[in-house]
Amino acid sequence: MSKRAYNFCAGPAALPEAVLQRAREEMLDWHGKGLSVMEMSHRGADFVGIAEQAEQDFRDLLSIPNNYKVLFMQGGASQQFAQIPLNLLPENGVADYIDTGIWSGKSAKEAAHFGKVNIAATGKAHNYFDIPAQREWQLSKDAAYVHYATNETIGGVQFDWVPETNGVPLVADMSSDILSRPINVADFGMIYAGAQKNIGPSGLLIGIIREDLLGKARASCPTVMDYKVIADNDSMYNTPPTFSWYLSGLVFKWLKAQGGVLAMEKLNREKKELLYKAIDESSFYTNPVAKECRSWMNIPFRLADESLDKAFLAGAEERGLLNLKGHRSVGGMRASIYNAVGLDAVQALVDYMREFEKEKA
Ligand SMILES: *Cc1c(COP(=O)(O)O)cnc(C)c1O
pTM above 0.85, yes or no: yes
260-360 is a CATH 3.40.50.300 domain: no
pLDDT in tens, 148-202: 999 999 999 999 999 999 999 999 999 999 999 999 999 999 999 999 999 999 9
Among protein residues, the one whose CA lies closest to atom 14 of ligand 1:
175
In the predicted structure, residue 296 carries a pLDDT above the cut 80:
yes
Verify whether ligand 1 is closer than 6 Å to residue 77 (CB atom). Answer: yes
Distances (CA, A) of 126 to 77, 121, 130, 155, 289: 25, 12, 6, 12, 10
Ligand 1 neighbourhood includes 105 CB (under 6 angstroms): no
Is there a catalytic annotation at residue 197?
yes
Dihedral of the alpha carbons of 88, 92, 96, 97, in degrees to the nearest 10: 80
- The helix-helix angle for 260-281 and 343-360 (nearest 10°) equals 10
> In angstroms, how far is CA 187 from the centroid of its own chain?
18
- Is-catalytic flag, 161? no
Cα 330 to ligand 1 centroid, rounded to whole Å: 16
Residue among 69, 197, 271, 325 flagged as catalytic: 197
Residue 2 pLDDT: 64
33 classed as catalytic: no
pLDDT mean across residues, the chain: 97
Ligand 1 touching residue 81 (CB < 6 A): no
73, 235 Cβ separation under 8 angstroms: yes
Answer whether residue 361 shows pLDDT above 90.
no
Instruction: Give, for ligand 1, the residue of 83, 97, 153 to mutate: max count of ligand atoms closer than 8 Å to Cβ.
Output: 153
Beta bridge partners of 99: 122
Angle (nearest 5°) at CA 25 between 20 and 31: 120
Residue whose CA is closest, atom 1 of ligand 1? 175
Instruction: Work out the percent of the chain whose per-residue pLDDT is above 70.
Output: 99
User: Is the confidence at residue 87, as pLDDT, over 60?
Assistant: yes
pLDDT, one tens digit per residue, over 113-147 is 999 999 999 999 999 999 999 999 999 999 999 99
* DSSP E strands, 107-249: 116-122, 146-149, 151-152, 157-158, 170-173, 190-194, 205-210
Find the 306 Cα to ligand 1 centroid distance in Å. Answer: 27
Choose the catalytic residue: 57, 99, 173, 177: 173
Q: What pLDDT score was predicted for residue 30?
A: 98
Ligand 1 site, residue 149, Cβ cutoff 6 A: yes
- DSSP per-residue string spanning 211-230: GGGTT---TTS-GGG-HHHH
CATH class of 18-257: alpha beta
Q: Is 176 in the pocket of ligand 1 (CB under 6 A)?
A: yes
In the chain, what are the domain boundaries? Answer: 18-257, 260-360
